[in-house]
A and B are shown apart, each in its own frame.
Chain A
């Protein structure tokens, strides 16, 4: 079936990076969630979702990100998003204040860095 989204996976400093390209909504959220979790190694420190080329996301996608984040946290793994400020979807994410629920970085490198060497939390 046609998913309207392409998922590419790679690794950066042992952190899984999945790039979501296309549109994410209720019609493909389950597919995307399964695909993302498939790309996290049990031993990996965490996962980064690169949303640079995600042209559309709504509350179904946001729900999915929160869900993935909680799943990984239970396994002591981190989850972060990479969203350039110029990306049209960044407005949608900021309206629901998603950055309060999980870390959002402007670049993939920043997101990986945040997982590999987390800022001292006091």
Chain B
């Protein structure tokens, strides 16, 4: 094997390995899977004997998370070591070429040598917040590490960093989802009893925990004075609250009973919590209050939920983010189902039902537990009618001991008979619906059941309002995304474009897939496709930003790699935790080339008219926003006339049933066999072949197909007779004439000659009216023939006088071999030129 082809093969192997890793990152459900895959990739792409991944724990100590062939002793002996300080902003790889001779390792030298390691390299894993771990490469014999090896290892480390970042985000999502659960699960009330001097006589564990003690025992050793010192006590509005105003103090001062919501803040923190406090006095022998019994409940979650709902309502029009991302994914129906099940279980009732007020002022059964959904769901109850209607219209919690005695009553209730307890759902004085529990037995419900229902309804109302907001927000995000995904493209010179977008199956989430195709000022076409990690409004908004940045940067400097570098900088600079895979290309339809760069995105497919397919795999790098130091490069590839670029997002090739390799092979097969399909339907046809109709789609899918015009011998453009068309003309001529074999000088000559003809049309053909002109260029007979024609009437001369007017014609004559002007015909004016090449 020649050296060059060996190098090419090794590059191909590295790219394959990187792609596998990127795919694994996208697919893995456990972070350890990603670490293992990273080790496997290193093993296959680099000649190292062993490797390990270490990640800093919460204290910043580097811990082994995955390794191969390292002894326990070695790991124990070296864990925690790092060649960089934890706050190092831009850590670089550190290489120890010969463990025996290098002093970098200091006292670790022995441990390393005992393990039989001759050389090693530390490769930093850098995440959004800086150094998050390291990747270790070990060689048994002393050796140097080539720059390319370290670069590849850094790229792998970057993928691992992306994976860790993604896990963190997902972890946060789960945490906030758990918060929702917390709203529904009953929190034990704190109970304390203290005497006139503030000494605790009794305290339960809940009280201790809520007050910041480890146990009730510890709390009993304190006094209410010292407990209060730990907190800044505020009223609901955040104003300082005097100690005397606290319920316990008030009952000790003589009031029999006192309650209020207290807001408090641990001294030194900036997090507020809310507590609903009730206190009652226990009189002593003298009749004066001797003890205060205090019951308090943490209501922070409810407060926050309520505040968020209020805040969100105010902010909705401005599309501002809601704090709790996870809740967006929780549908109202899921929420209601969970709620009725919980109510039924808590009351031990046979049934629980949730009715919500619909648009026609009717209550509609939206969720039910213990009832056949076929029977109950969708049942409508007019307000003021039936049991639920009465509860709603009177807004009164009600117990009906015998349902059959109540008229009128819905069929599904009457059939069961028995008794019922129901409460209205009210949020900020607005009626939302009714929650009721029913039993086969008559008189099954008591006051405490009604109290429980009231509590559940209070919390449910907040959650329902929230879920509705989230659903509304999701609709907005979906609309936003759709507005960013053109389903039709303006006609672009030299190419045809088609796209397709398929949302995820459950439809509940708005994905971050996007694509774009736009003409640049020089007549070339900028294509992009990408996938923002994340969902909802943030992702949709980020998608808009990235798309706009691409368009803006693309017109300034049409290099996909430099566009990516700038967007990467932009995403790394903003505090948003956003990253994005993307493929970007500048297609020159006249030169029939594509200049592209790939930021961690699945490789775009090239389909030739003869049915061959290949992947554009030459310029792979890391996703945008994942790593500040990422480098992007451009790759130029010649395309065949009529070739199709087929770009897609990973939802098209991801499947739990099949490995990625197989999916890409299937894609190539599906795309190559779809060439008979007209281009506008090609994306949908490929999608239909790859995505089985019966398989749930977990991710959204975007596809973009761009076909070069098939006629390589002719360049035909119709452009507005405006000065901004001139760069387009030159851009098209540049690509076309080079492909026809013109030299640099000949290309420039043809550009000047052609621009002169076009400038004349623009300046003289239409006066102040608007119009268009046609450019036809053909490669023939060893030269290039150009025709520029308009349908206007030239006005003779130039306002500035004939003295300066002659340059254009002089240039056309000097720079071409033949010039022929046909003017004054009804069809307008035509300038024809011919230039031999290689003259």
Interface residues, chain A, with chain B CB atoms under 8 Å away? 2, 4, 23, 25-27, 56, 58-60, 62-63, 66, 88-89, 91-92, 95-96
Contacts and interface: CB of A to CB of B under 8 A. Distances in A.
Contact of B815 (A25, A26, A60, A95): A95
Contacts of A96: 807, 810-811
Given A4-B521, A27-B726, A59 B808 contact: yes
B804 A95 contact: no
Given A88-B744, A95-B811, A58 B521 contact: no
9 contacts: A2-B521, A4-B522, A4-B727, A27-B724, A56-B730, A59-B759, A59-B808, A63-B807, A92-B752
B604 interface: no
User: Looking at B749, B762, B807, B808, which has the most chain A CB atoms within 10 Å of its CB?
Assistant: B807
A95 to B, nearest CB: 5
Interface string B802-815: 00100110110011
Contacts of B763: 26
A4 B724 CA distance: 11
B801 to A, nearest CB: 11
Interface in B717-771: 723-724, 726-727, 730, 744-745, 748-749, 751-752, 755-756, 759, 762-763
Contacts of B759: 25-26, 58-60
B730 A23 contact: yes
Nearest to A96: B807
A27 B808 contact: no
Nearest to A63: B804
A101 B811 CA distance: 17
Contact of A92 (B521, B726, B762, B811): B811
Contacts of B814: 95
B556 interface: yes
B555 interface: yes
B755 A25 contact: yes
A8 B754 CA distance: 29
Contacts of A92: 748, 752, 811
Contact of B723 (A27, A56, A66): A27
A56 B754 CA distance: 13
Q: Nearest 10 pairs between A and B by C-beta? A: A59-B807, A27-B723, A26-B723, A59-B808, A95-B814, A96-B807, A25-B726, A58-B755, A58-B752, A27-B726
Nearest to B800: A63
A59 B815 contact: no
B17 to A, nearest CB: 40
Nearest to A27: B723
A95 B751 CA distance: 15
A86 B502 CA distance: 55
Contacts of B755: 25, 58
Contacts of A66: 804
Contacts of B723: 25-27
A58 B811 contact: yes
Contacts of A59: 756, 759, 807-808, 811
B52 to A, nearest CB: 50
Contact of B726 (A26, A88, A95): A26
A92 B811 CA distance: 7
B556 A58 contact: no
B810 A95 contact: yes
A118 B687 CA distance: 74
Contacts of A23: 727, 730
Contacts of B744: 88
Interface string B766-810: 000000000000000000000000000000000010001001101
B762 A26 contact: yes
Contacts of B556: 2
Given A88-B744, A96-B807, A56 B762 contact: no
Given A4-B522, A25-B727, 9 more contacts: A25-B755, A26-B726, A59-B759, A59-B811, A62-B807, A92-B748, A95-B811, A95-B815, A96-B810
User: Looking at A4, A58, A91, which has the most chain B CB atoms within 10 Å of its CB?
Assistant: A58
Contacts of B815: 95
A99 B522 CA distance: 31
A23 B522 CA distance: 11
Contacts of B807: 59, 62-63, 96
A89 B747 CA distance: 12
Contacts of B800: 63
B811 A27 contact: no
A2 B551 CA distance: 12
Contacts of B762: 26
Contacts of A95: 810-811, 814-815
User: Looking at A27, A66, A92, which has the most chain B CB atoms within 10 Å of its CB?
Assistant: A27
Contacts of B521: 2, 4
Nearest to B522: A4
A85 B811 CA distance: 19
Contacts of B726: 25-27
A25 B521 CA distance: 14
Contact of A58 (B555, B724, B745, B756): B756
Nearest to A57: B752
Given A27-B723, A27-B726, A2 B555 contact: yes
Contacts of A2: 521, 555-556
Contacts of A25: 723, 726-727, 730, 755, 759
A4 B521 CA distance: 9
Interface in B800-839: 800, 804, 807-808, 810-811, 814-815
Nearest to A29: B723
Nearest to A66: B804
Nearest to B749: A91
Nearest to A94: B814
A26 B815 CA distance: 19
A11 to B, nearest CB: 28
A59 B757 CA distance: 11
A88 to B, nearest CB: 5
B272 to A, nearest CB: 51
Contacts of A63: 800, 804, 807
Given A2-B556, A23-B727, A25-B726, A56 B748 contact: yes
A119 to B, nearest CB: 27
Interface string B488-524: 0000000000000000000000000000000001100
A7 to B, nearest CB: 15
Contacts of B749: 91
Nearest to B798: A63
B727 A88 contact: no
A75 to B, nearest CB: 20
Contacts of A89: 748
A98 B751 CA distance: 19
A91 B752 CA distance: 11
Contact of A56 (B555, B724, B751, B756): B751
Nearest to B552: A2
Contact of B748 (A26, A27, A88): A88
A2 B745 CA distance: 26
A102 to B, nearest CB: 13
B526 to A, nearest CB: 13
B794 to A, nearest CB: 16
Given A58-B756, A58-B759, A95-B815, A88 B745 contact: yes
Nearest to B729: A25
B532 to A, nearest CB: 27
A54 to B, nearest CB: 12
